[in-house]
Amino acid sequence: MTHKGTLTLRTDRLILRRFTLADAEAMYENWASEDAVTEYLTWPSHPSVDVTRMVIGDWVKGYESADFYQWAIELKELGQVVGSISVVTQKPTVDSCELGWCIGSRWWGQGIMPEAGRAVLGYLFDEVGFDRIAAAHAAGNPKSGRVMQKLGMRYEGTFRQAGRCNRGVIDEVWYAILKDEFHAGAGSFRPMRRVRQELSRAETEAILRNGTTGVLAVHGDEGYPYAVPVNYVYKDGKIYFHGAKAGHKFDAMARDDKVSFCVIGQDQVMPEDFSDHYKSAVAFGRVRLLEGDEALRAVYDLGYRFNPDPVKARAEVAKSGANAACFEITIDHLTGKQAKGLLPQA
């Protein structure tokens, strides 16, 4: 490896750079004093800006070492630091390291940390020479795990009662990515290339909740993908739809339970600039045929989705529900995207 220290990195929205003492007040106000941020961290919220200034002072001294990596995440449009990302441990014998990060809650769900993480991964793999980069989160903090997934990291295991944070002793959930996986765009699921256009989890789920029709894609006959529109309802984090008890779609799902599901939440053609102002959600998951009470509940939920009158919904279910097969998609990965034209103008 060739250690080069904390060099400045730039992305569309961010400047990743060394901390200076001038960042103390912004760091204190934007995240270091926030209990919601430090809940699953190993250090407590700062009681005063003096503590923040002391911490930054230690980091400034650390920059004298070429193997010290601690970046401030500066949001260009704000001109202030909003979080940090760093190498917290290293294993030189296997060219491996562990990343850690935090960001103020006002910027959660905006894709900032995945954007910063990709820049850091590229630098550590290509410039420094690491071959493996890992990260861990407390089992009770799945939001951090979703960042790891968006970075293309693969789940490697859960170490029970192996760590401690401000919540006490916790199970550690570990992810990692190798250099060749990073360059191949591999991992559990590919990260979105245009990270600025990525919607937050809440915005993506809103598209699913508000929609009534989506496109189901399955592994069809002769190896061809088969995509078909279906009516659906999104409830408790899962997608429910019905269909016939025989046919191309039914047979395909019986052969292979891996499916994807796409919903267009907005579609507005903009003639003046030859573009489309769209918002969409894509889910990847596994489908199963429901039976018994589970199937009955799903059929009623679908009925209420299209006619909220309970009397009419029950009558419709009684008339045709027995002839329909009802399916459930458990979502493994969910992404949302919006058109570039919908982004806030810089």
pLDDT at position 189, please?
64
CA distances in angstroms from 322 to 12, 145, 243, 251, 328, listed in the order given: 53, 40, 11, 19, 17
Write the pLDDT tens digit of every residue in 181-221.
887 764 456 666 666 788 887 889 999 999 999 999 999 99
Can you give the CATH number for the domain in which 131 is found?
A: 3.40.630.30
Query: Does 113 have pLDDT greater than 90?
Result: yes
Q: Judge if 251 and 133 occupy the same domain.
A: no
Alpha carbon distance 279, 266 (integer Å): 5
Q: Judge if 178 and 222 occupy the same domain.
A: no
**In the structure, what pLDDT confidence band is assigned to residue 104 with cuts at 50, 70 and 90?**
very high
Q: Judge if 115 and 128 occupy the same domain.
A: yes
Write the pLDDT tens digit of every residue in 242-298.
988 889 999 999 999 999 999 999 999 989 888 889 999 999 989 999 988 888 888
Residue 1 is assigned to a structural domain of this protein: no
Residue 2 is assigned to a structural domain of this protein: no
Q: What are phi and psi of 217, to 5 degrees?
A: -115, 130
Q: Which of 138, 171, 198 is the C-terminal boundary of a domain? A: 198
Alpha carbon distance 272, 291 (integer Å): 51
Q: Judge if 33 and 122 occupy the same domain.
A: yes
Contact 136, 172 (CB under 8 A): yes
Query: Does 69 have pLDDT greater than 50?
Result: yes
Lowest-confidence segment of 98-107, 169-178, 179-188 by average pLDDT = 179-188
Q: Judge if 64 and 162 occupy the same domain.
A: yes
The model carries a pTM of: 0.58
Q: Judge if 173 and 239 occupy the same domain.
A: no
Residue 92 CB partners (closer than 8 Å, separation 6+): 1
Q: Judge if 91 and 141 occupy the same domain.
A: yes
Residue 3 is assigned to a structural domain of this protein: no
Alpha carbon distance 266, 261 (integer Å): 16
Q: For 291-329, give one letter per residue: b (16+ CB within 10 A) or e.
A: eeeebeebbbbbbbbeeeeeeebeebbeeebeebbbbbb
Can you give the CATH number for the domain in which 221 is found?
A: 2.30.110.10
Range of the domain at 239: 202-342
Q: How many CB atoms lie within 10 A of CB 45?
A: 17
pLDDT at position 345, please?
62
Write the pLDDT tens digit of every residue in 47-63.
999 999 999 999 999 99
Query: Does 81 have pLDDT greater than 90?
Result: yes
Write the pLDDT tens digit of every residue in 225-235.
999 999 999 99
- Is the CA virtual torsion 264, 268, 271, 272 positive or negative? negative
Q: Which of 198, 228, 245 is the C-terminal boundary of a domain? A: 198
- The residue with tokens 């589970």 is 294
Q: Judge if 96 and 142 occupy the same domain.
A: yes
Q: Give the Cα-Cα-Cα angle 61, 62, 63 (nearest 5 degrees).
A: 90
- Domains contained in the chain, number: 2
Residue 286 is assigned to a structural domain of this protein: yes
Q: Judge if 58 and 160 occupy the same domain.
A: yes
Alpha carbon distance 205, 196 (integer Å): 18
Q: Judge if 61 and 192 occupy the same domain.
A: yes
